């Protein structure tokens, strides 16, 4: 699992750039984030931090962008779909696309109404 960037309150990671078990590794990372977040409290309220996690698997483009401050990033429809999964998720849960679910056969799943994660042509 590779940290790509942090944008505001969004922490973006990528898996599978060099690992065929990317879905398993990213799911384990997401579960660990949820476990740890339950121990972190907001200083203003004392309530636990609530994370929304979104996972999607598919092809993506990556590269180093920028000349003054070059940085590695990942982009494309797969990244946008993962963002949509996170944005439409429920705090304290991991929202997984059908593509990622298909790669995680041993997980127990709870069905939801579903979300269209990309525009259809």
Chain centroid, CA 97 distance in Å: 10
pLDDT tens, residue by residue, 57-75:
998 898 999 999 998 888 8
Determine what percent of the chain is predicted with pLDDT higher than 70. 90
Q: What ranges do the domains of the chain cover?
A: 2-101
Q: How are the residues of the chain apportioned to helix, strand and coil, as percentages rounded to the nearest 5?
A: 25, 25, 50
pTM value > 0.95 = no
pLDDT tens, residue by residue, 71-96:
888 888 988 888 888 888 888 889 99
For domain 2-101, give the CATH number.
Answer: 3.30.70.1230
Q: Which one, of 113, 7, 118, 121, lies nearest residue 57 by Cα?
A: 118
């Amino acid at each position: 699992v590779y940290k790509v960037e942090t944008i505001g309150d969004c922490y973006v990671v990528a898996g599978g750039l060099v690992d065929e078990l990317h879905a398993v590794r990213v799911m384990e990372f997401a579960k660990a984030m949820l476990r740890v977040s339950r121990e972190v409290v907001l200083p203003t309220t004392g309530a636990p931090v609530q994370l929304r996690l979104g996972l999607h698997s598919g092809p993506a483009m990556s590269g180093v962008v920028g000349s003054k401050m070059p940085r590695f990033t990942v982009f494309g429809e797969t990244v946008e779909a993962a963002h949509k999964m996170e944005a439409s998720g429920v705090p304290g849960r991991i929202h997984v696309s059908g593509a990622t679910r298909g790669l995680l056969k041993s997980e127990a799943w709870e069905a939801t109404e579903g979300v269209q994660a990309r525009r259809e042509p």
